[in-house]
Chains A and B, each alone.
Chain A
Amino acid sequence: MSVAESHLHDHHDDHEHDHHDLPWIKKYVFSEDHKVIAKQYLISGIIWAIIGGGLSLLFRLQLAYPDANFDWLKPLLGGWIQNGKLDPEFYLALVTMHGTIMVFFVLTAGLSGTFSNFLIPLQIGARDMASGFLNMLSYWFFFVSGVIMLCSLFIETGPAGGGWTVYPPLSALPQAISGSGLGMTLWLISMALFIVSTLLGGLNYITTVINLRTNGMSFLRMPLTIWAFFITAIIGLLSFPVLFSAALLLIFDRTFGTSFFLSDIYIAGQALSFEGGSPVLFQHLFWFLGHPEVYIVLLPALGITSEIVATNSRKPIFGYKAMIGSMLAIAFLSFIVWAHHMFISGMNPFLGSIFMFLTLIIAVPSAVKAFNYITTLWRGNIIFTPAMLFSIGLVSFFISGGLTGIVLGNSAADIQLHDTYFVVAHFHIVMGSASFFGMLAGVYHWFPKMFGRMMDEKLGYVHFWITFIGVYMVFFPMHYIGIAGFPRRYYSFTGFDFTQSFTDLTQIITIAAIVTFAAQFIFLFNFFFSIFKGRRATENPWRSNTLEWTTPVEPGHGNWPGAIPTVYRWAYDYSKPGAEDDFIPQNVPFSETKGSNFPHENEQMVAEAESIHGK
């Protein structure tokens, strides 16, 4: 380790020297500094969130007000408005793009990309990522992928429209839906580049966590954020290539006439030549990524929350090892539950039994995590920063949305609920909103370290309350609609007798969605205003233990101006009995805290002394 560190240190000196010579473009655009790359991911994520959220408002309006005249949207949507109505195929395209953008660009790249990049080196005590160059490539692959996806919104035949799950044959045949023409081609190219970006990023995160931890930062002293990012990267590395293969085979079917996923198709007055393929195969491949993806999105948010809840409760996170254990269990199980998305896809019902069993097991580690958060709050001394409020919101969503998963994971009950609004409610709360809240919590919490200034707290509170209530107003009513059997991805509910109830709820959801979306502009204002005009931050404004708060207010290239601090303890010595203050940072040796040491920690002082002498 010490060799590695001295090596790094040399590097650091070089960088320090280079620092001033770096041209603007290398410093801010093609930067290899993990902090700049993190900010690039964050800003991109925010832009995508506005686009993805905005798209959802468009289709919510059409759904809630089927009789209204939407000609006023013509300046924005042009030909997609026909006779005052949204075109039904464009409606599906909006749904598809909303899902794709939110899942991949906002909650994967925007969340994991931002915070893995920003926090891994800072919290494990490294000068930068293992490979700054690959890290830069990772962002720019993501950027190009985003540009391509954005272009697909503006082409004449419209963007991909077969749902974010892009099941063939619908996604393979332009005859079936116009979005499956050029729009789908762009979708596939964009996703392929996105996967490359994720893999480059993931490789870097894993390598950095394994190799570049500072002295004393053993795995069991790592903050839970780092554990979460580490496990997330491993999941991504194992599952994204499977999506890549699915996308590649789909490209083959679309372009070269192979029959991987297609068979027995008669469409547009013509029997096609595909024979022997299986649409269900695609679903297996897709969900082999698709389900782990849920945890790729959620685990970083849970990691961020663990850190924020502990810091602001002024208490150690309860059951640190159980938290790691449950994350590992969730990660492992996430790979063997995918077919619960396919109970009624026509696959062998026996598989359904197996996957129901495995799916319900995953509820156990999830429950442990929820209980641990609540116990961390118990007898704490809680400070409600905006980050803390968003973390509490996350815990609430994690519980509310997680519980309904238990019904959906039961294949017999799922028959009725599959592809209804119950599912929409479930995953928007547990995966969408919970992760989104994790992301916002992270921004509020680490903003001072990112930009050297504080965000405004009051605006943060207002933002939290409108968003928290708004999210529940949007997604809680969807349970009712779902239990009544309303299918998802419907352009209109006027065609069926069984979907005539609850028109009022459909409208309430839309109004709540508009208000919630509008509230995000409070955040945007706060965010951009504070970058330039915010109150100046101190080094450690939240009185937190982790290493990033030992850096200067605005850490430069290489993060620490002097030597990298050595770590002597875990990250959660908050309110330790006998300690002077209610927190002891990780870089404080036990020899300096004799009053608060436990017996086994006193023993470690000996080793500590040796290591200090050794230096």
Chain B
Amino acid sequence: MLGLYISIAAVLILAILFLVFRIQTFIDIVRGANSRRVGTSNKVNAFLLLAFFVVSTALFIWYSVPASKFFLPKAVSEHGVRTDQMFWITMSILIIAFIGTNIFLFSFVFKYQFKEDRKAYFYPDNHKLEIIWTVIPAIVMAILVYFGWKEWSSITRPAPENAEVVEIMGKQFAWQVRYPGKDKKFGGYNFKLIDATNEMGMNLSDPHTKDDFLPSEIHIPKGQPVLFKIRARDVIHSVFAPHFRLKMDAVPGLPTKFWFTPTKTTQEMRDELGNPKFNYEIACTEVCGRGHFAMRYIIVVEEPEDYETWFAAQKPWSESNLEYILTKVDEKSKGLYPAPPAPAPAPKADTASVAVAPADTVAK
């Protein structure tokens, strides 16, 4: 149906254009415009160019003002507030330059349209002018570079010692998240250890693995530095958390990181936006295949006390996958884990369901 409408519209537009063109040709012939060096169209085009500029600038302002509420979602990280400020300062300079140069461009083409009795001004160069407009952009750029560089250095400097560390692994087409557990140390990992249960390839013989837990949402404390350790196990993905102004590629074989300090809890944002369903989200921004557009994950920002409570309540992954672990580790490492469990817990805890859910969405 849509196609039909489009083709009808296209045919109509073409027909109208053709008629306009035919009529114009007849008018020109009647007026004898063909013999002149420049016809009426020159005036028409000059006027249209100016009109285009005026109308589109008006449209630009008319649309941008109300649309600005959808711009950059509210920044809720410390560096995000600063980069937003930098973004808007840069944008203001650019918009001034944009409108300024376009005023010159479109007013000149209107003002200096062809007139039979005028001769163009032979003006091949002016070194002073050229130096001025080389130096001014150079100075503006230098200032922008300086602030950009300062900000970039501060964002990319090593994370503070006390940062909460979360590991995020991208795979087709979901994120897997791991916390270091009570010992605050991650067990090692190796891609060769990955299978359907041990999706992150954790080294089960590493004593630090024992208390690592794999939740279904990321929880982080407000006001404290958080370090994301990022990796991927199949193709490149990219962790994008728009509200935190956070983006970093997840590269197989090359672990990356990004640290930030969240400044608003999820609840605070819900109250502020009046949207009780609001959630901080992670999306993938490096094309990774069929389900690229559906790699959603949720970040919950909590008050530090709530975070501690949540953290303490998390069950280590090893606890719910004990049977699996005992089939995988050697005799020596078996000692790390409790003896064969009395009540066999269901293998594959929440992680598996997390992994499956987005894949389902894709299939739909």
A residues with CB within 8 A of B: 61, 65, 68, 72-73, 88-89, 92, 161-163, 167, 169-170, 173, 176-177, 262-267, 269, 271, 275-280, 313-322, 344-346, 349, 352-353, 356-357, 360-361, 363-364, 367-368, 370-375, 377-384, 389, 392, 395-396, 399-400, 403-404, 406-407, 410-413, 415-416, 418-420, 457-459, 461-462, 465, 468-469, 472, 476, 480, 483-485, 487-493, 495-499, 501-502, 514-515, 518, 521-522, 572, 574-577, 582
Q: Given the complex of chains A and B, what is the CA–CA distance between A416 and B290 in angstroms? A: 23
Contact B247 A416 (CB under 8 A): yes
Select the stretch in B119-127, B202-210, B304-312, B321-329 that faces chain A: B119-127
Chain B residues near A577 (CB-CB < 8 A): 122
**Which B-chain residue is minimally distant from A404 (CB atoms)?**
B94
Contact A485 B149 (CB under 8 A): no
Contact B112 A352 (CB under 8 A): no
B residues with CB within 8 A of A: 2-3, 6, 10, 13-14, 17, 20-21, 24-25, 37-38, 41-42, 44-46, 48-49, 52, 56, 60, 63-64, 67, 70-73, 79-80, 83, 86-87, 90-91, 94, 97-98, 101-102, 104-105, 108-109, 112-115, 118-126, 129-130, 133-134, 137-138, 141, 144-145, 148-149, 151-153, 155-156, 172, 191-192, 194-196, 201, 233-236, 238, 240, 242-243, 245-249, 251-254, 256, 277-279, 281, 283-294, 296, 361-362
Contact B120 A315 (CB under 8 A): yes
Contact B123 A176 (CB under 8 A): no
Question: Would you give 12 A-B contacts (Cβ < 8 Å), ordered by A?
Answer: A61-B2, A68-B2, A262-B253, A271-B191, A315-B123, A356-B145, A392-B49, A395-B105, A407-B94, A462-B20, A472-B56, A498-B242
Q: Given the complex of chains A and B, what is the CA–CA distance between A61 and B2 in angstroms? A: 10
Chain A residues near B236 (CB-CB < 8 A): 167, 169-170, 279
Known: A356-B148, A357-B145, A498-B73. A392 touches B109 (CB 8 A): yes
Contact B120 A574 (CB under 8 A): yes
Interface class of chain B by DSSP = helix
A409 to chain B, nearest CB (A): 8
Chain A residues near B254 (CB-CB < 8 A): 263, 278-280, 346
Known: A170-B235, A410-B145, A480-B67. 17 other contacts (CB 8 A): A167-B236, A177-B289, A264-B191, A265-B252, A266-B233, A349-B156, A368-B134, A370-B101, A374-B101, A382-B46, A410-B90, A413-B83, A415-B245, A472-B56, A490-B293, A498-B283, A582-B120
Q: Given the complex of chains A and B, what is the CA–CA distance between A385 and B94 in angstroms? A: 30
B275 to chain A, nearest CB (A): 9
Chain B residues near A498 (CB-CB < 8 A): 73, 242-243, 281, 283
Contact A495 B293 (CB under 8 A): yes
Q: Given the complex of chains A and B, what is the CA–CA distance between A558 and B342 in angstroms? A: 94
Q: Which of B49, B114, B277, B361 is within 8 Å of A495, CB to CB?
A: B361
Contact A381 B94 (CB under 8 A): no
Q: Given the complex of chains A and B, what is the CA–CA distance between A249 and B10 in angstroms? A: 47
B330 to chain A, nearest CB (A): 19
Chain B residues near A318 (CB-CB < 8 A): 123-126
Contact B41 A413 (CB under 8 A): no
Contact B101 A321 (CB under 8 A): no
Q: Which of B52, B87, B235, B288 is within 8 Å of A407, CB to CB?
A: B87
Q: Given the complex of chains A and B, what is the CA–CA distance between A364 and B86 in angstroms? A: 20
**Which B-chain residue is minimally distant from A572 (CB atoms)?**
B124
B158 to chain A, nearest CB (A): 10
